[in-house]
Amino acid sequence: MQNITTIDLHANRLSGAIPPELGNLTNLKELRLSNNSLTGTIPGSNDSIVVSTKKEDQVGLCQLAQLTDIDLSNNLLAGSIPACLGHIQRSSMVGNCFHNNDTRNRPDWECGNSMDAGKDNNNTSIGEDGQRGRVIQPLWLLIVEVVTGVSVLSILTLCAIAGLRRRKDRSSRRGVPWTRALSWKENNVISIDDDLLGNVPKISRQELAEACEDFSNIIGSSQETVVYKGTMKDGREIAVVSMSASVHYWTNYVELYFQKEVVEVARLSHENAGKMVGYCKSSDPFSRMVVFEYPSNGTLYEHLHDVEGCQLSWPRRMKIALSIARVLRHLHTELQPPFAVAALASSSVYLTEDFSPKIIDFERWRGLVGKPLLSSGCVVNGGGGHSNGVVDSRHVRFMDVQANTFAFGVILLELISGRASLSKDTDDLVNWARKHLEQAGEFGKLVDPKLRSVGQESLGIICNVVNLCIDAEPSRRPSMNMIGAILEEGVDTSVRDSSLAWAEAAIS
């Protein structure tokens, strides 16, 4: 067993804690446990407040001196990242519940007990006898907590007594006994309109099971959704997003929200927006799925950051940038009401065989299962007169559109630099690029070294647009209508940017 050098259990629906016995695999060089449901802390020397530099004192993963490639992203790990893993790039730790990780963690409501467990594991100390024990709370803090608790309880008791007296007075004046008023949720019966999805093709679960090899061909997973890849009988490749929710969670509120989202996405008809093939609604077994045409050439992220060599020349990158700008202009300004992509990134831009981009909003369906719908303002039956605690949907849409503009600026930076938005070399891409974007003479330092030829005039236009998109004040970011016009007028997508680029295209 000690001769094992690679463990790849990506997206295997693993749960529970990472076994510390992995530290016994002394020859382990690569460990991939991403996209699972692992909880607890990372077994390492940070399990205590004592961090030793002696090899014999290391525990868990900190024993693995040859471990250079580790990916623990998209789990529910809590606590602190061991200091011995400080050299691991931050993108390999995103999507967890760590305390000392300044990358993209999960929100608190997703972490739940995992964060509490992580805190418990870190709230320990090592005594003189070497045993682990709880940190003793200061006496003054305990006194403050007791006094505060008693005060709050007293105030609540007084309020309850006053409320009962007021109700008693009202009932005595009316001459009828008091009864509890129905809440807004009880007064409104959510009716599901079966005709709402009448214009969206419905696909049977059996047909999708056959297309996706009995749902064994998984290409992505999270706590909220599982994404399968399949091939329809007519030869079309599809991606099937299945909601990971039980029938008990799926109330009429959620069903109505699901149907509205299906209708919302089905109306997208732009050539650079992923086309919805249909939806699946099954009761036995309970399932809700949405189906998209799947471009088979991977994502823009993969071509920029994971593929060896430079498959994306400068003219091709400029064509991709223009196409993304056009589809966002269509979604933001030409559709009514406007449509905002839930999580716009280079990983949500899929490429066809001729490198035409198509945005597929998989993240939208994760939010369907994860969001507290009743407090989000997303599901309202008529919406009249119930504004307390409900966010104006027009304001939410406006904020999402501005977030899309910022995300587009990040994608432009990735296209010209070849660097990921978060990486070991650049930390945060936007922060790294800002100092070079301040002066035109510094634009060349942003260029991907793998590119053999770059249109200097187009580079200047792109950098100026990036500056507009990533403005720290959202209200100052221009609309995609203006951004699209700037790019279409100033960016050259021809392969004749230089004689070398033209020769490369002729050879290919």
Q: 310 and 213 share a domain?
A: no
Predicted pLDDT at 388: 32
Predicted pLDDT at 162: 76
Domain count, the chain: 3
Determine the average pLDDT of the residues in 451-458: 89
Predicted pLDDT at 159: 76
Q: 373 and 282 share a domain?
A: no
Rounded Cα distance, 288 and 232, in Å: 18
Domain hosting residue 99, numbered range: 6-134
User: Phi/psi at 260 (nearest 5 deg)?
Assistant: -65, -35
Rounded Cα distance, 128 and 503, in Å: 73
Q: Tens of pLDDT along 271-294?
A: 999 999 999 999 888 999 999 999
Q: 254 and 276 share a domain?
A: yes
For 145-154, 268-277, 281-290, 294-303, which range has the lowest pLDDT when averaged over its residues?
145-154
Q: Which residues pair with 428 in a beta bridge?
A: 422
Residue 488 located in a structural domain: yes
Residue 13 located in a structural domain: yes
Q: 312 and 427 share a domain?
A: yes
Q: 206 and 337 share a domain?
A: no
Amino acid type, 29 = K
Q: 464 and 333 share a domain?
A: yes
Identify the domain boundary among 262, 277, 294.
294
For 125-139, 260-274, 412-426, which range has the lowest pLDDT when averaged over its residues?
125-139
Q: Is residue 398's pLDDT more than 90?
A: no
Identify the domain boundary among 294, 329, 356.
294
Predicted pLDDT at 102: 61
Predicted pLDDT at 157: 81
Residue 185 located in a structural domain: no
Amino acid type, 178 = W
Residue 170 located in a structural domain: no
Q: 348 and 467 share a domain?
A: yes
Written as six digits, the tokens of 294 are: 């799947």
Q: 308 and 283 share a domain?
A: no
Determine contact, residues 29/69, Cβ cutoff 8 Å: yes
Residue 163 located in a structural domain: no
Residue 396 located in a structural domain: yes
Peptide bond connecting 337 to the previous residue in cis, omega within 30 degrees of 0? yes
The number of helix segments (H) and strand segments (E) in the chain equals: 15, 16
Q: Sign of torsion, CA 252 256 262 265?
A: negative
Q: What is the pTM of this model?
A: 0.58
First to last CA, the chain: 47
Burial label for 394, CB within 10 Å (0-12, 13-18, 19+), is exposed
CATH number at residue 225: 3.30.200.20
Q: 94 and 127 share a domain?
A: yes
Q: 357 and 474 share a domain?
A: yes
Q: 274 and 345 share a domain?
A: no
Integer angstrom CA distances of residue 73 from 96, 328, 336, 418? 7, 29, 37, 22
CATH number at residue 93: 3.80.10
Q: Which of 9-13, 92-96, 191-195, 320-324 has the highest mean pLDDT?
A: 320-324
Q: Sign of torsion, CA 313 314 317 319?
A: negative
CATH number at residue 489: 1.10.510.10
Q: Is residue 411's pLDDT more than 70?
A: yes
Q: Tens of pLDDT along 47-88?
A: 443 344 455 556 788 888 888 888 888 888 888 888 888 777
Which has more confidence, 190 or 78? 78
Name the average pLDDT for the chain: 77
Predicted pLDDT at 200: 92
Which has more confidence, 33 or 169? 33
Q: 332 and 439 share a domain?
A: yes
Percent pLDDT > 90 in the chain is 36
Q: Is residue 348's pLDDT more than 90?
A: yes
Identify the domain boundary among 279, 294, 309.
294
Residue 165 located in a structural domain: no
Task: Determine the distance from the C-alpha atom of residue 4 to the mean position of all C-alpha atoms in its chain, rounded to a whole number.
Answer: 33
Percent pLDDT > 70 in the chain is 73
User: What are the residues whose beta carbons fall under 8 Å from the beta carbon of 447, sequence distance 6 or more?
Assistant: 416, 417, 454, 459
